[in-house]
Amino acid sequence: MDVLYFAWVRERIGIPKEKVETEAATVADLVSELVAREERYAAAFADLSALRVALDQELSGFDAPLSGVREVAFFPPMTGG
């Protein structure tokens, strides 16, 4: 699936987008897999309460299932307007 990062999450991880092969059942499982990879992921995902997640461009939760999802995006709380 495509995994996208925005704002300071993108800066900490160092890339805006990547393809991830995963069997993770939920968003939280995917986060655990990413955190185990490298320090930059651990730094980005250190505090999940400071992050939001969207599944196929819909805001979702970290306990949401990933089956059938093509695009996951992680970002800080939004600051539009």
The least CB distance from residue 19 to other proteins, in Å, is 17
Q: Give the residue with the Cβ less far from other proteins, 24 or 53.
A: 53
Give the tokens for residue 72: 């996951």
Q: How far apart are CA 69 and CA 33, in angstroms?
A: 17
CB atoms within 10 A of CB 72: 23
Interaction residues for other proteins, span 34-63 (CB under 8 A): 54, 57-59
- Looking up tokens 């307007």 gives 81
- Bridge partners (DSSP) of residue 5 are 74
The least CB distance from residue 36 to other proteins, in Å, is 26
Size of the site for other proteins (CB under 8 A): 16
Task: Name the residues that contact other proteins, by CB under 8 A.
Answer: 4, 6-8, 54, 57-59, 73, 75-81
